[in-house]
Amino acid sequence: MKIKEYIENGATILDVRTPKEYMGGHVVGSINIPLQELPDRLDEIRSLKMPLVLCCASGARSQAATNFLKQQNFDCQDGGSWLNLNFIKSEIHVK
């Protein structure tokens, strides 16, 4: 399934940047859990609507987060840059 289809179907967007980066701009409705906090917040992540689409600034942290969460049996995909996801989400809502 493509990222756009995940978002169209109500996936939770999980932004793994720092809170400061997140406050500088993010996808509306996304959840911020920094990459380094993922292992300690697995119960919280399990309570989110699946699947997850992960994002960060460039895609490096979101790829690491996706790999980690898939090892924990989460249904998730790497969405790369939050700016890209923001663009995809805005395209969906324009239709």
Q: For residue 1, what pLDDT is reported?
A: 63
**How confident is the prediction along the chain (95 residues), in pLDDT tens digits per residue?**
699 999 999 999 999 999 999 999 999 999 999 999 999 999 999 999 999 999 999 999 999 999 999 999 999 999 999 999 999 988 886 55
CATH number of the CATH domain containing 41: 3.40.250.10
- Over the stretch 73-88, which tens digit does the pLDDT of each residue have? 999 999 999 999 999 9
Distance CA 36, CA 2 (A): 26
Q: 77 is in which domain, residue-wise?
A: 3-94
